[in-house]
Chain A
């Protein structure tokens, strides 16, 4: 309930945030606080310094960037849900953001925080994997861009370094591609027991290309590559069942009180079938 002692500083700009992070060991960024504050209160996280970036208005936006939509890392989930550009060009993002937590969470939590925390049980990472999003990271040396496939590195570990700040997420406009994100929860606002994100391109009644992201099916958010490969060239009418059967191949889902690894694999197949049917039919 009471965090261990820490210092607190407010970042005046993204560059200032990076400077503050670089000045001490074990500094942590505070955005919406929905991951960090519970960890602080349970004393699982004991940073020496908390750098508050919650006031960096310049990192909260949704913009048209040609073939992609650019989303500022500090954009709150509620603003992602309401963004007309996303609703029109990439509704899988706005729809999924609306499935996170509850209204209070969605008005505090940010898209960047959700991704940079690297929690395999969060919804947006799987969606970003299915989309092939690109991320901009600001560090002491300046900006760099990382593809989502290189972003999730390990257990709660991402490409964002200790003295870096995720600033922007770019998601491709979906165009004709079909999409779906289905999550399974026991209670409305729970973390997903399992989630499946699918983005599918069809061509002449067959699947031309598919990307599938999985929530809570391993130590990191991950893609179901065996299923993706098997789907290519499959007739649209029968593809979903075939893809679903392979969706858990290569995954090492956790076992906990929400479900055993075996059940999660089963659930992933059930959800993948439904998600693929929806994506192919959309």
Chain B
């Protein structure tokens, strides 16, 4: 690993930078985790939803009588029955334009079902089986309507309208333009214009969603939910329910993955709360896997038109990107904003002077889309990296050489779209990747296979990427019409006997917060990592936070923890100075101990200061007892990881089977707190990008039925399909935060899809193939080869 640069005030110590084993794993691996589904409370009843089998249908009548009379049933309600239980619809927190078409999204549909899976009625029963049986007895009379699932067809005039109150399915058009784009294209020596479709993806977290709503005696409600966003849920659900926010407590217990799909305010959460309130009993709902395919948000589903203008030498002068993004049937929490999260980076890590981006959000009769790992940035990276390869082919340039000619080299770098990249060294990552790959040998083998006409051809694909994460500076969020801030908070509390509680405002679902955060605090307070407990995910326990998504927990929440810890150290210093009868300026601090300059024997540890602060027998005048501090941190900038990924694929030119045989990822994620956790994030991230490139795709038929509604035909790849990834890092510490860290949770997914797609095209390029639709299924590869053969036969 190459340390290219280190930040000014980066912590170094016993724990930071070491692979402390995840402290979460013992309980999870021994089955002692607490997921919502494990929770049972007295008097609990079970909720089941009746969902529309039609993608688009008028709800003529809902007859609940038979279901209500069934054994074990407590109550049955239609959407109309519950309308008065809600003060507002489910929220969309990112109305990206002033004139956005923002439909009402009721927890249960009342007039029309707008996608297959839209809830139309609920059954509450004494057992889950009784609820499920009775749900089959609810008789819903539908009048099926023409549905539209294709995003471009939905945007066209005359398409069936998803929302009757709007005269078009177009929700919004959002634009960003900088520099003389038209002029650059007009004067360009070379241009490429490519069209890509990023398929619809289903996040498929290992733990399905689950909700338990528990009413209290005086109007309190507690919601346990498998969510990434307990804090945001409290704000939004109190508005949906029309109840005092202070009466609502939200708890995210152990959460088994989310990938963005649990950054959401779901109907089932609002329904469970409303029903708990109405019935006075705890209400539990656990998502079935097949239900999750329909009713948990999907991702991507974006058509992209990508244009590059370049000089004859391959210097890219302008980028023009136009995307049409499927919103699905409703605008969920940040659905319209997803394309915006990529809007600034369609120029990738290249020094582009003129830049144009336009996004059109379109309603379709499909499950709503929203944030899925990378959210907007995998799409952007896919477009620019595939287009760079297209440009390389046009110029007959090595794709590596083309990238090098265009890399941004000076940092911080303000890019044409207007944001400033904090740090980076894209050449360093690429150098390292080429070295690990042995680029010369790989190209040689490819050439030999081509010359022999082997059935299995080799392809090498690159994706040199950057991304903006660590969401986000609040002022920027405000400027782009997101309704909340992007700061986070933490409390560091030193207990009297010397151990420490960290109360974090972020809320993990597999990231290892309890380990990483403890490492930071243990180093800064000179403690054993096991002396630091990290609490999170409970609005009754932690300070107000903004939760976990957008690779922000360390880059934002971790800095709040660092800052709170520094406040604790400062207060401990005051106590130490007082008790040691020395000026604080004369104290040195190392490994958790203050000592008087020149007389190292005279000292006091933070632990001792904590006890002194608790007894409060002898504190300086005006100093409050107790040793704890809260910090709220609003990042001044995004964090900008980057790097070079290389995929090597083997493609069977007879069967069309494309297999990933090597994958090299060299990432610059700034300073690293826990290398094993970072590697784990990169591994999982790569797997999800590879999945999009080779395996996963949500497919609907023309009526809007989801054809890939199970793990049998929605192909989440397994370890057997993936090679052992070869990981390395380069490091340019982020200068914008004290730890020098950047986000890492999404980098793998952002980079890998394009690398794999480029590799498949590279494998087949000698046979005349210039493009492949992802996922590059065997059939698509076969058809691309057939088409190329026909084309060659004709010419």
Do B777 and A186 touch across chains, with their CB atoms under 8 A apart?
Answer: yes
A189 contacts the other chain (CB 8 A): yes
Assess the B782–A257 pair: CB atoms within 8 A: no
Q: Complex: how many Å from CA A2 to CA B127?
A: 11
Interface string of B699-732 (1 = CB under 8 A from A): 1000000011000110101101100000000000
Convert B654-667 into 0s and 1s, putting 1 for each residue whose CB lies closer than 8 angstroms to a CB of A.
11110000000000
Nearest CB of A to B199, in Å:
12
Q: Is B626 an interface residue (CB 8 A)?
A: no
The digit string for B417-461, where 1 denotes a CB below 8 A from any CB of A, is 000000000000000000000000000000000000000000000
For residue B132, CB closer than 8 A to chain A, the reply is: yes
Known: A257-B699, A259-B778. A187 touches B720 (CB 8 A): yes
Smallest distance from the beta carbon of A258 to chain B beta carbons, Å? 7
Within 8 A of A (CB), among B758-795: 777-779, 782-783
Question: How distant is A75 from chain B, measured CB to nearest CB, in Å?
Answer: 25
Contact partner of A186 (CB less than 8 A), chosen from B290, B699, B708, B778, is: B778
Which of these, B132, B657, B699, contacts A2 with CB under 8 Å? B132
Contact A270 B655 (CB under 8 A): yes
Interface pair A184/B718, CB less than 8 Å apart:
no
Given contacts A2-B129, A263-B779, A266-B782, contact A184 B717 (CB under 8 A): no
Give Cα distance in the complex from A258 to B782, angstroms: 13
| Beta-carbon contact of A186 and B718 below 8 Å | no
Q: How far is the CA of A111 from the CA of B656 in the complex (A)?
A: 31
Shortest 7 CB-CB contacts between residues of A and residues of B: A188-B720, A1-B288, A263-B779, A270-B654, A2-B132, A257-B713, A259-B779
Measured between beta carbons, the chain A residues less than 8 angstroms from B289 are 1
**Is B713 within 8 A of A184, CB to CB?**
no
What residues of A have a CB within 8 angstroms of the CB of B782 in the complex? Answer: 263, 266
User: Known: A2-B128, A270-B654. Is A187-B717 also a contact (CB below 8 A)?
Assistant: yes
Footprint of B on A, CB under 8 Å? 1-2, 4-5, 42, 184, 186-191, 193, 256-260, 263, 266-267, 270-271
Q: Chain B 194-229, CB within 8 Å of chain A: the 1/0 string?
A: 000000000000000000000000000000000000
Nearest-CB distance from A95 to chain B (Å)? 18
> Across the interface, which residues of A come within 8 angstroms of B654, CB to CB?
270
B695 within 8 A of A: yes
Contacts of B721 in A (CB 8 A): 187-188
**Closest partner residue, chain A, to B131 (CB atom):** A2
6 pairs, A vs B, C-beta closer than 8 Å: A1-B289, A184-B655, A189-B720, A190-B712, A263-B779, A267-B778
B133 interface residue per 8 A CB criterion? yes
In chain B, what residue has the closest Cβ to A260? B779
> A1–B132 Cα gap in the complex (Å)?
9
- When the two chains form their complex, are residues A267 and B712 in contact, meaning their CB atoms are under 8 A apart? no
CB distance from A178 to the nearest CB of B (A): 21
Give A209 Cβ to nearest chain B Cβ, in Å.
27
> What's the nearest-Cβ distance from chain B to residue A180, in Å?
15
Chain A residues near B655: list those with CB within 8 A. Answer: 184, 267, 270-271
Q: Which residue of A lies closest to B655 (CB)?
A: A270
Shortest distance between the CB of A195 and any CB in chain B (Å):
13
Bound-state Cα–Cα, A4 to B721, Å: 36
How many A-B pairs have beta carbons closer than 8 Å: the answer is 56
Min CB distance A170 to B, Å, is 32
CA distance A20 to B715 in the complex (A): 39
Do B712 and A191 have beta carbons less than 8 Å apart? yes
Closest to A1 in B: B288
Beyond A1-B289, A187-B695, 7 extra complex contacts between A and B, CB < 8 Å:
A1-B288, A4-B133, A188-B718, A193-B778, A256-B713, A260-B779, A263-B779
How many of chain B's residues touch chain A, expressed as a range? 20 to 34
User: Chain A: which residue is nearest B127 at the CB level?
Assistant: A2
Chain B residues, CB < 8 A from A4: 133
- Tell me how far the C-beta of B388 lies from the nearest C-beta in chain A, rounded to whole angstroms: 29
- By a CB distance below 8 angstroms, the chain B residues around A270 are 654-655
Q: How far apart are the CA atoms of A220 and B717 in the complex, in Å?
A: 28
Tell me the bound Cα distance from A186 to B691 in angstroms.
11
Residue among B133, B713, B779 with the highest chain A CB neighbour number at 10 A: B779
The docked-state distance in angstroms from the alpha carbon of A183 to that of B479 is: 55
Could you tell me the distance between the alpha carbons of A165 and B322 in the complex, rounded to whole angstroms?
Answer: 62
How far, in angstroms, from A187 to B712 measured CA to CA in the complex? 10
The CA of A184 and the CA of B715, in the complex, are separated in Å by 14
Known contacts A188-B721, A263-B779, A267-B655, A257 near B708 by CB under 8 Å: yes
Residue of B nearest to A186 (CB): B715
* Cα of A258 to Cα of B710 in the assembled complex, Å: 13
A188: nearest chain-B partner, CB-CB? B720
CB-CB under 8 A from A190, the residues of chain B are 712, 715
- Report the minimum CB–CB distance from B3 to chain A (whole Å): 39
B467 to chain A, nearest CB (A): 29
Bound-state CA distance A184–B708 (Å) is 19
Contacts of B708 in A (CB 8 A): 257
Given A187-B721, A257-B707, A42-B290 contact (CB < 8 Å): yes
Contacts of A257 in B (CB 8 A): 697, 699, 707-708, 713
- Are B779 and A186 in touch, CB under 8 angstroms? no
User: How many angstroms from the CA of A262 to the CA of B721 in the assembled complex?
Assistant: 25
Is B778 a contact of A263 with CB atoms below 8 Å? yes
Q: Which residues of A sit under 8 angstroms from B128, Cβ to Cβ?
A: 2
CA A184 to CA B779, docked complex, whole Å? 12
Which of A1, A4, A191 has the largest number of chain B CB atoms within 10 A? A1
Q: Which residue of A lies closest to B717 (CB)?
A: A187
A82 CA to B129 CA in the complex, in Å?
Answer: 40
B253-294 residues at the A interface, CB under 8 angstroms:
288-290
Q: Which of B120-141 contact A (CB under 8 A)?
A: 128-129, 132-133
Q: Is the CB of B707 within 8 A of A187?
A: no
Q: Is the CB of A186 within 8 A of B695?
A: yes
Considering the complex, give the chain B residue whose CB is closest to the CB of A271: B655
Contact between A187 and B657, CB atoms less than 8 A apart? no
Residues in A whose Cβ lies below 8 Å from that of B133? 4-5
| Chain A residues whose CB sits within 8 angstroms of the CB of B132 once the complex forms | 1-2
CB distance from B751 to the nearest CB of A (A): 23
Residue with the highest number of chain B CB atoms closer than 10 Å, among A4, A187, A256: A187
How near does chain B come to A119, taking the closest CB pair, in angstroms? 12
Closest to B716 in A: A187
When distances are taken between beta carbons in the complex, the residues of chain B under 8 Å from A259 are: 777-779
Decide: A184 and B657 in contact? CB cutoff 8 A. yes
A1-B288, A256-B713 are contacts. A189–B718 as well, Cβ < 8 Å? yes
Residues in A with CB closer than 8 Å to B718 are 187-189
Bound: A190/B288 CA distance, A:
21
- A126 to B697: give the CA distance in the assembly, Å: 29
> What is the CA–CA distance of A267 and B777 in the complex, to the nearest angstrom?
13
Q: B778 — which chain A residues lie within 8 A by C-beta?
A: 184, 186, 193, 259, 263, 267
B143 CB, nearest partner CB in chain A, Å: 25
Closest to A5 in B: B133
- Cβ distance A122 to chain B, nearest Cβ, rounded Å: 14
Contacts of B288 in A (CB 8 A): 1
Contacts of B712 in A (CB 8 A): 190-191
Of all chain B residues, the one with the shortest Cβ separation from A191 is B712
Docked complex Cα distance between A233 and B778 (Å) = 34
B288 CB to closest chain A CB (Å) equals 4
Cα distance A119–B506 in the bound complex, in angstroms: 48
**In the complex, A190→B657 CA distance in Å?**
14
Give the docked Cα–Cα distance between A4 and B129 (Å).
8
Closest to B719 in A: A188
Q: How far is the CA of A190 from the CA of B777 in the complex (A)?
A: 15
Task: Judge whether B715 and A187 touch: CB under 8 Å.
Answer: yes
Return A175 CB to nearest CB of chain B, in Å: 31
Instruction: Name B129's closest neighbour in chain A (CB-CB).
Output: A2
Min CB–CB distance A104 → chain B (angstroms): 13
Contacts of B777 in A (CB 8 A): 186, 259
**Nearest CB of A to B268, in Å:** 15
From A4, A189, A256, A257, name the one whose CB has the most chain B CB atoms within 10 angstroms.
Answer: A257
**Cα distance A179–B271 in the bound complex, in angstroms:** 59
Cα separation A257 to B779 with both chains bound (whole Å): 10
Distance A5 CA – B128 CA, assembled complex (angstroms): 13
What chain B residues lie within 8 Å of A263 (beta carbons)? 656, 778-779, 782-783
